[in-house]
């Protein structure tokens, strides 16, 4: 279900829970606010409600919900964090309101953004602090829920839960659903309870695949694990396969790219080229758009921002 802003023409995905709530109130029209241009406009309920059946009540204020994209692959060093941060920064620069959630004990997202948040995901999941105290505005439009070492303790808490463990993250992030256009979730390498939680929360998966090394085994293993999750959670979909470390000067990456193209034609994104600026930028606490705006890496991430934000199979 979608509504289109009459002013800026941006399409918004409608939160089905919100429709149920508004339908119950018997109002004929509701007022929607475009998260991009802030324009307020009326929406007729009968254009939103498909079925008159109203079964449950929730109380959100808005009908718009964020796209939740996790950036994940069990293999380490493939560009997950680099992609999470630069995709987030690029979307923020394009005017979208973005939340970057770092679920990794390495806490690299904060480092790349040059921030040292005093609280983050751990304090949220352990309920030590209220949600707004765990968030940090890292850049205009780009908010951060930082990760770090303390998440190791959270994983143990999740492991000890006797039921509903896989929904721990979803429950904690639920209030943020309608606050952002995009919620991006960076994950650690490997496979653990926190990654399972991410896959029970996100609806779209972006997998970076490093073309430097033999990646296809890791990718097919991951797709199998995702399939196991999809048996219990239908909403999660593999959406984007992003080749990283593309170096056209050598044959290996090109061959692997061709293989990916054959195997996953609909998921494949334009590759992110190998570029030393991407490795240098973090030590200056800068995104690629700040550190090397004219570089080909900046161009590649801009292209990714465009592809994802304009993806008609997902409405923003």
Ligand X SMILES: Nc1ncnc2c1ncn2[C@@H]1O[C@H](COP(=O)(O)OP(=O)(O)OP(=O)(O)O)[C@@H](O)[C@H]1O
Q: Which residues are at the interface with Mg ion (CB under 5 A)?
A: 80-81
Nearest residue (CB) to ligand X, 41 versus 191: 191
Q: Least Å distance between CB 180 and ligand X?
A: 22
| Positions that interact with ligand X (CB under 6 A) | 76-82, 104, 106, 108, 188-189, 244-245, 272, 274-275, 278-279, 282
| CA separation for the pair 150, 154 (Å, rounded) | 7
What does 244 bind: Mg ion, ligand X, none (CB cut-off 5 to 8 Å by kind)?
Answer: ligand X
Nearest residue (CB) to Mg ion, 81 versus 244: 81
Element (H, E) at 91: helix 80-93
What does 189 bind: Mg ion, ligand X, none (CB cut-off 5 to 8 Å by kind)?
Answer: ligand X
Q: Least Å distance between CB 240 and ligand X?
A: 15
Q: Is 85 exposed, middle or buried (0-12, 13-18, 19+ CB in 10 A)?
A: buried
What does 141 bind: Mg ion, ligand X, none (CB cut-off 5 to 8 Å by kind)?
Answer: none
| CA separation for the pair 106, 110 (Å, rounded) | 10
| CA separation for the pair 141, 89 (Å, rounded) | 8
What does 278 bind: Mg ion, ligand X, none (CB cut-off 5 to 8 Å by kind)?
Answer: ligand X
Q: Least Å distance between CB 86 and Mg ion?
A: 12
CA dihedral for 119, 109, 34, 36, sign (positive or negative): positive
Distances (CA, A) of 278 to 208, 213, 229, 256, 293: 15, 18, 32, 21, 11
Q: Least Å distance between CB 108 and ligand X?
A: 6
Q: Least Å distance between CB 5 and Mg ion?
A: 35
Q: How far apart are the first and last CA of the chain?
A: 11
| CA separation for the pair 316, 305 (Å, rounded) | 12
The residue number with the shortest CB distance to Mg ion is 81
| CA separation for the pair 311, 135 (Å, rounded) | 28
Nearest residue (CB) to Mg ion, 12 versus 80: 80
The SS3 call for residue 193 is: helix
Q: Least Å distance between CB 244 and ligand X?
A: 5
Nearest residue (CB) to ligand X, 18 versus 103: 103
How many other C-beta atoms can be found within 10 angstroms of the C-beta atom of residue 198?
25
Nearest residue (CB) to Mg ion, 107 versus 271: 107
What does 97 bind: ligand X, Mg ion, none (CB cut-off 5 to 8 Å by kind)?
Answer: none
> From its phi and psi, is residue 115 left (phi > 0), alpha (psi between -120 and 50) or beta?
beta
What does 245 bind: Mg ion, ligand X, none (CB cut-off 5 to 8 Å by kind)?
Answer: ligand X
Nearest residue (CB) to ligand X, 135 versus 281: 281
Nearest residue (CB) to ligand X, 278 versus 316: 278
Parallel, antiparallel, or unpaired for β 182-186 and 67-71? parallel
| CA separation for the pair 4, 294 (Å, rounded) | 33
The SS3 call for residue 43 is: strand
Q: Least Å distance between CB 211 and ligand X?
A: 9
Nearest residue (CB) to ligand X, 32 versus 78: 78
What does 239 bind: ligand X, Mg ion, none (CB cut-off 5 to 8 Å by kind)?
Answer: none
CA dihedral for 117, 60, 43, 19, sign (positive or negative): positive
Q: Least Å distance between CB 209 and ligand X?
A: 10
């Amino acid at each position: 279900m979608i509504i289109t802003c009459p002013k800026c023409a941006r399409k918004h995905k409608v939160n089905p829970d919100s429709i149920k709530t508004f339908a119950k109130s018997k109002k004929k029209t509701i007022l929607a606010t475009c998260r991009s241009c802030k324009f307020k406009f009326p929406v007729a309920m009968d254009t939103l409600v498909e079925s008159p059946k109203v079964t449950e009540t929730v109380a959100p204020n808005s009908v718009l919900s964020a796209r939740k994209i996790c950036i994940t692959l069990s293999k380490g060093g493939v560009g997950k964090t680099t992609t999470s941060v630069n995709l987030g920064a690029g979307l923020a620069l394009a005017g979208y309101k973005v939340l970057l959630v770092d679920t990794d004990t390495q806490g690299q997202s904060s480092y790349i953004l040059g921030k040292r948040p005093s609280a983050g995901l751990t304090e949220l999941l352990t309920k030590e602090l209220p949600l707004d105290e765990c968030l940090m505005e890292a850049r205009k439009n780009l908010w951060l829920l930082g990760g770090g070492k303390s998440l190791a303790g959270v994983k143990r808490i999740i492991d000890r839960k006797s039921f509903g463990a896989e929904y721990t993250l979803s429950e904690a992030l639920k209030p943020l659903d309608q606050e952002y256009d995009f919620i991006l979730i960076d994950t650690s390498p490997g496979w653990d309870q926190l990654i399972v939680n991410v896959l029970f929360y996100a609806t779209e998966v972006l997998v970076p695949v490093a073309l430097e090394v033999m990646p296809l085994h890791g990718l097919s293993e991951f797709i199998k694990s995702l399939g196991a999750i999809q048996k219990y959670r239908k909403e999660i979909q593999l959406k984007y396969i992003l080749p990283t470390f593309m170096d056209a000067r050598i044959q290996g990456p090109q061959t692997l790219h061709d293989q990916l193209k054959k195997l996953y034609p609909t998921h494949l994104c334009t590759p992110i080229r190998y570029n030393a600026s991407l490795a240098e930028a973090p030590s200056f606490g800068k995104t690629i758009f700040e550190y090397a705006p004219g570089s080909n890496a900046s161009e590649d991430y801009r292209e990714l921002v465009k592809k994802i934000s304009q993806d008609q199979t997902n409405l923003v």
